[in-house]
Structure 1
Amino acid sequence: MGSTRGAHRLRPANIGFRPDIEGLRAVAVLAVVLFHAHVPGVGGGYIGVDVFFVISGFLITRLLWQEVSTSGTVRLRRFYGARARRLLPASATVGIVIAVASALLLPPLQAKSVMVDAVASALYVGNYQFLLQGVDYLAANLPVSPFQHYWSLSVEEQFYFVWPALMILAAWLVRRARRRKAAVEAPSARPYIALLAVVAIASFALCWAVSHLLPAVAFFSLPTRAWQLALGGLVALTAGRWSALPPVVASLLGWTGLAVVVFACTALSTSTLYPGTAALLPTLGAALVIGAGCAVPTQGCGRVLASSPMRVIGRLSYSWYLWHWPVLLLAPLLTGRPLGLSGTVAAVLVSAGLAVLTLVTIENPIRYSTRLRGSPGGSLALGGAATATAVGVAIALLMVIPAPVGSGAPVGALTVQVTPLAPDDTPDGHEAAVRAVFAQVQGAVSEAVERKDVPSNLDPPLAEAAAEGRDIYLDGCMRTFLEAGQPDCVWGDPASTTTVALVGDSNAVMWAPAFQRLAEQRRWRLTVMGKASCPLMTLPISATYLQRVYTVCEQWREHVIGRLNAERPQLVVVGMWRRYGAVHEYGGGHGWLSAYESYSPQWIEGLGDLVRQVHGMGSKVLVLGPIPDPRTLVPTCLSGHLDDATACAPATSAAVNQSGIARESASTQINGGDYADLTELFCTESRCPVIVGNTLVYFDATHVTAEYAGSLAPVMGALADRALAGS
């Protein structure tokens, strides 16, 4: 009986140095660096972070178990002092440099946003800062932050706060249980193994479920990543059993684990649903390598991992991880051109050099300081001072960076005059009215092309433009990614005999200010039905944001078509974004995957089917053509070019797909609808200005401002009249 119980008892894990783990760190950081450097064949290099999680879980749990098994508890001041000494000075130093460089190199609006990221990262809640951005689809166009890689450090630090507390609680429960027994037993790891197993199973189940619902939440949050750290901890608590493996078996397991990690680097990609079940590959692979190393740390794959080159890179891994991403991201701004192959190699080498400098001057001197190692309080004070300094610098820069305000002469607002037509006017009369209002706007657009200085009375101001991203939801009238159904959203006169429905994705809803004005003026009954990134055409779509088929979009479409069929509005105005299936050249390369691309034959056929279906219900149909693609985040761009707005104005040839518009127009008209080519409202033949009159045209890279949409209400009215008067 005693031997049976003994099989479940583990000696305190040997916490001697593991050269193979140092080499495994090298594998992890190389994977991440090569991935961020866009090296072909390393599309899954982001899994290096997962390997770091397993390593951290193993090392921290091994350390905690040794202390619990010998003293029965965890000395928190000593534990946190060691973590603070090891991690905080280097991360704070690099964070300060990133913040200062961002303030100097980035446009003011973007720099201000980065300072918020800097504060969150310094306080180790950056993962939740980026999570909040990740669940906001309008933030998908935002440039990637130079602090984004700090999210993984936040996850680890949060784990460091939670896991020791759980260990202390488990130790207390074990002590209480022992008091009830007559015999004093040797420390057993079984309660801690059970605790970590529960954490791992619950966390993985949550990770799997949330990955299919909101991948951004699963990717960034501790509860959905804890299983990876817990698995490393389980290896630490079962180290004795791993050590008992025959060398041949251990070597085979180690090589298998390393092969799985490398396979994940090459087989996975940014389109993989992640973490989900795909994260099992690097996580289990790293666990096998570490577990096998408990038996043969310098044999099998351990021989490779423990080699001098790998150990050198492993020692640099923390600092290199901190430096590589901001250097790659900010270097093009410093050089004034894209990096290219040679520039990327140079940036990677520069970041490695900075890592060496950080290791030699900050990491090692502080980490191995005899004075600090003997003073947990001193270590905590140093870590706290480093964090406070990083937060203080970021806040100071946030206050110092000026709000971008144009210094150009005030400019008059865009105004469009329209002559009311009789309800029974001829089609030619309505066509002439449309041409007249278009000509007025085109005149203002032509004047704006040559204007360089951002006017001092810009409307809305650049600093306030981003807030319009929240307003576009119209208090729930535009459904978010996860919402199906459609509430009743009515403006104007609810009892009117003329009902106009504005329907589509956010590029339809952005025109609501124009149609709301018309509804009030003309006593229409206006109903708005919109859903984020969900065009009304019945076409399959898989949102990159969700990394799965957008089934809620399909449900919303069915609901809206049913509503239209039941309500039979006199006019249905359809709008949609025209960048589905494409990858943005801005905002970090976000895009929307689908089984089709905008303007493709499938798209044109789907548009025709939609127009024919709605027209068959007895409604007139007006399809709004696309707005130009400004190819940049307009407010951010202008904040860095206050004296040259033309630097943010794209060429018409690059911003407008004329052939696609022509195909859409033909398909719409053949199937009984009216099509509005809106190009002249935004562009001349050569260029598309981003300020017309004193009005800012776009509040981001894909939507017009409420002010510009509202100023075009007379134009939308003329288009609606023409569509209503059509046969």
Structure 2
Amino acid sequence: MRQADSISPAQDLRGRRSEQKRFRPDIEGLRAVAVLAVVLFHAEVPGVGGGYVGVDVFFVISGFLITGLLWREANTTGTVRLRSFYGARARRLLPASATVGVVTMGASVVLLPALQVKSVIWDGITSALYVGNYWFIMRGVDYFASHKALSPFQHYWSLGVEEQFYLVWPALIIGTAWLIRRVRRRTRAEATSSQRPYLVVLALTAVVSFALSLAATPLAPPVAFFSLPTRAWQLAIGGLVALTVGRWQRLSPRAGAITGWAGLALILLACGGLSSATLYPGIAALLPTVGAALVIAAGCASPEGGCGRVLGLSPMRAIGRISYSWYLWHWPVLLLVPALLGHPLGLAARVAAALLAGGLALLTLRFIENPLRFAAPIRRSPGRSLALGGAATAVAVCVGLALLHVVPTPIGRGTPAAALKVTTAPVPAGAGLAAYDAAAQRAVAQVQAAVAASVDIKAVPSNLDPSFADVEAEQKAYMGSGCLRTPTQGGQPECATGDTESTTTVAVVGDSHAAIWNPAFKQAAADRHWRLETLAKAACPLMDLRVTNSFRPLVELLEHCEQWRAEIMTRLRAEHPRLVVVSAFRGYGADESMTGFNAYDPTWIDGLTRIVQQLRSIGAKVLVLGPVPDPHFDVPTCLSAHLDDVTACLPRRSKAVNESGIAAESAAAKAGGGQYADVTDLFCTADRCPVIVGNTLIYVDSSHLTFEYSRLLAPVMGALADRALAHG
């Protein structure tokens, strides 16, 4: 996180104090508390499950220091010298962050899976430009996700928030002064010396930003967590303390001590009481924010009293001095050391890695931060300071762009393998249920044999299909066809394939895990002259789950799931499909929490029975597809790191498959009058679930099928659909 100069606003805002008198040892110690919380949280030290709140503490400190600095200058000179302000920030912050960024990108190229590297480099480039927080929002990054590949630049999001704060805050101060002059016809000096309008502006900023944070936390967690508009209230709280220093200085020693200790207790309570499961920031962020504000406010009266005495101790101040560099180094070190060693780190090793990052922080402070920060020729010239910061940023960006061109796309090294081939014969018209069962079993048995043979694949086949080079394009293609609506899109365009003039319509309906079966049913429909319609919307299962979460109405405003379901049911009633195939993601509540859904819980099971009954009531046969086994990690990325050891990426069946959940779903579908197909045997043996069958890659990411594997399973899906149509 950022460190601004430790400066305390004076009670006499027109006066100038010496640099020494401005220094706040308690704030330097508070930085130590903040960085220790973040480092211990990322090192997964027990008891610090809420340590991520250290970033919130940094925000309050920055709001206090920068607001005080800008106010003092505006009050003294009648304006803010923007070149000097930005030059000081650039000289202080950019060289260190660029250095760590360049080293991190280089190490990532060497140590991380090849398929992950380009994404990491883009993270580094956007972080060097201080827009990484919005880059993570665009990618839908969940800060607390543990099942996805983590970026060594993910912690740079807070640097983006602070750099954007540095751009906005001076404009806020100058704009307020201009408005005062316009409204009251005051001189520049009179406008800047009037405190109340600035307090009103900061208070309004805090209220609006906090309201946005509360609304966005359940609706769009990445936006709430990473964006400046939803974090500005924490910076504004620090600014309000800075503008009310005179009032805080009148606290008695006893009241100041109580205030400070109470604030520190709130921060520690947040560190120990919150966790990755906490809905954050939201209401929970009040704990560290108010706590930090109280500690700083108490120190305005007596920096050396109360908790300030502890925070001002030499060890705390020493940690505070390296807090910025330690924050920069700790996360990439914790993430890249396991990749270097080839295995996860235990608790002791993680702590050792964090201490190693602290050593790197000391070196950075000694050889980069301080020399450039205090070099007289640079310090005396805002232009040179800005040029230094710009050059550092340009170097980091150029290094990232150069690395993008040298990172090779991984290629399988194993012997070319034959693709899965499933053959079936049509069941004679009028045949009994046993004939359809036998046809489906024959098709499944062929796949099972290929799956069993693929468990022992060692090296990734050189003819892998799709190739690693095509994986990213295929991921984008899911949303590109128009058949699958995004979470924020409304409506559902017609997506009919096969024999569109046929009187037999089969509809595949659900979320993205229904759309993954489109290639299979598309091929089956073409073979059987069916009209196939795919109706799918990401993050919206067809079942009416009647979620009672208090935030669900807000989520509905964004996702329109209930509206989409109603439209789809109306459409199905009008079109009268012969067969409706229902499928859904089963990671809700585990790998995905924003919707409020929880797969396999009583609401889910009851909802499945109800939707099958509703579909049966419109005259359709219903086939519910069981879940695709869930590896809980990005499969192509894992394979790109283990080109010669595919077995390192094979999840165990016991972890990837919820047997009890499947049994409950099967009973629910049958209770509603439909059929249920457990597809587990198309992916797993009794023990393991291969991620490559023959030469075909099964997963395009952490849970969705590749188009290629879905297409190869067309004979099986066709046989299951034939059975459902004949005897559903």
When the two structures are superposed, what TM-score results if normalisation uses the length of structure 2? 0.89
Structure 1, 185-194 or 612-621: larger mean CA deviation: 185-194
What are the ranges of 5 or more consecutive residues in structure 1 without an aligned counterpart? Answer: 1-7, 584-589
Shift of 1:198: 3.3
1:202 corresponds to 2:208: yes
Letter in 1 for 2:355: L
Q: Which residue of 1 aligns with 2:690?
A: 689
Task: Label 1:187 to 1:318 Cα distance change in 2 as closer, same or farther (>3 A).
Answer: same
Deviations 1:679-701 (A, max 9, x none): 33223344332222332111011
Q: Which residue of 1 aligns with 2:65?
A: 59
Q: Which residue of 2 aligns with 1:11?
A: 14
C-alpha contact (below 8 Å) 1:10/1:188 kept by paired residues: no
Deviations 1:610-662 (A, max 9, x none): 43443344322212122222343111111112233333223444434445545
Q: Which residue of 2 aligns with 1:4?
A: none
C-alpha contact (below 8 Å) 1:45/1:266 kept by paired residues: yes
Letter in 2 for 1:649: L
1:571 corresponds to 2:579: yes
Corresponding residue to 2:78 among 59, 72, 75: 72
Corresponding residue to 1:109 among 105, 111, 115: 115
Deviations 1:578-598 (A, max 9, x none): 334445xxxxxx667967553
Q: 1: CA distance between counterparts of 2:286 and 2:63?
A: 15
Q: 2: CA distance between counterparts of 1:76 and 1:343?
A: 45
Deviations 1:449-471 (A, max 9, x none): 33333233322221321333333
C-alpha contact (below 8 Å) 2:218/2:594 kept by paired residues: no
Structure 1, 173-182 or 541-550: larger mean CA deviation: 541-550
Q: 2: CA distance between counterparts of 1:542 and 1:433?
A: 43
Structure 1, 383-392 or 204-213: larger mean CA deviation: 204-213
Shift of 1:223: 1.7
Letter in 2 for 1:120: T
Task: Label 1:399 to 1:608 Cα distance change in 2 as closer, same or farther (>3 A).
Answer: same
Q: Which residue of 2 aligns with 1:632?
A: 633
Q: 2: CA distance between counterparts of 1:561 and 1:453?
A: 47
Deviations 1:13-62 (A, max 9, x none): 85710111111111211221222222333322222111111111111121
1:480 corresponds to 2:486: yes
Q: Which residue of 2 aligns with 1:286?
A: 292
- Partner of 1:338, secondary structure, is coil
- Partner of 1:62, secondary structure, is helix
Q: 2: CA distance between counterparts of 1:436 and 1:179?
A: 88
- Partner of 2:240, secondary structure, is helix
Q: Which residue of 1 aligns with 2:5?
A: none
Q: 2: CA distance between counterparts of 1:545 and 1:330?
A: 37
* Two-structure CA RMSD over aligned residues (Å): 3.2
Task: Label 1:167 to 1:544 Cα distance change in 2 as closer, same or farther (>3 A).
Answer: same
Q: 2: CA distance between counterparts of 1:201 and 1:670?
A: 51
- Partner of 2:457, secondary structure, is coil
Shift of 1:114: 0.5
Q: Which residue of 1 aligns with 2:361?
A: 355
Shift of 1:474: 5.9
C-alpha contact (below 8 Å) 2:45/2:347 kept by paired residues: no
Q: 2: CA distance between counterparts of 1:229 and 1:300?
A: 24
C-alpha contact (below 8 Å) 1:9/1:188 kept by paired residues: no
Mapping for residues 500-539 of structure 1, pairs under 5 Å: 500-539=506-545
Q: 2: CA distance between counterparts of 1:140 and 1:474?
A: 28
Task: Label 1:188 to 1:51 Cα distance change in 2 as closer, same or farther (>3 A).
Answer: same
Task: Label 1:372 to 1:25 Cα distance change in 2 as closer, same or farther (>3 A).
Answer: same
- Partner of 1:472, secondary structure, is helix
C-alpha contact (below 8 Å) 2:506/2:532 kept by paired residues: yes
Task: Label 1:304 to 1:660 Cα distance change in 2 as closer, same or farther (>3 A).
Answer: same
- Partner of 1:529, secondary structure, is strand
Corresponding residue to 1:318 among 321, 324, 346: 324
Task: Label 1:716 to 1:292 Cα distance change in 2 as closer, same or farther (>3 A).
Answer: same
Letter in 1 for 2:582: V
Q: 2: CA distance between counterparts of 1:625 and 1:721?
A: 17
C-alpha contact (below 8 Å) 1:215/1:546 kept by paired residues: no
What are the ranges of 5 or more consecutive residues in structure 2 without an aligned counterpart? Answer: 1-10
Q: Which residue of 2 aligns with 1:586?
A: none
Shift of 1:486: 4.4
Number of equivalenced pairs: 712
Letter in 2 for 1:572: V
Letter in 1 for 2:285: A
Letter in 1 for 2:584: M
Q: Which residue of 2 aligns with 1:715?
A: 716
Q: 2: CA distance between counterparts of 1:30 and 1:211?
A: 25
Shift of 1:382: 1.9
Structure 1, 232-241 or 481-490: larger mean CA deviation: 481-490
C-alpha contact (below 8 Å) 2:450/2:694 kept by paired residues: yes
Q: 2: CA distance between counterparts of 1:175 and 1:281?
A: 38
Q: Which residue of 2 aligns with 1:390?
A: 396
Q: Which residue of 2 aligns with 1:620?
A: 621
C-alpha contact (below 8 Å) 2:142/2:222 kept by paired residues: no
Corresponding residue to 1:224 among 216, 227, 230: 230
C-alpha contact (below 8 Å) 1:178/1:184 kept by paired residues: no
When the two structures are superposed, what TM-score results if normalisation uses the length of structure 1? 0.89
Task: Label 1:60 to 1:625 Cα distance change in 2 as closer, same or farther (>3 A).
Answer: same
Structure 1, 259-268 or 11-20: larger mean CA deviation: 11-20
Task: Label 1:686 to 1:307 Cα distance change in 2 as closer, same or farther (>3 A).
Answer: closer
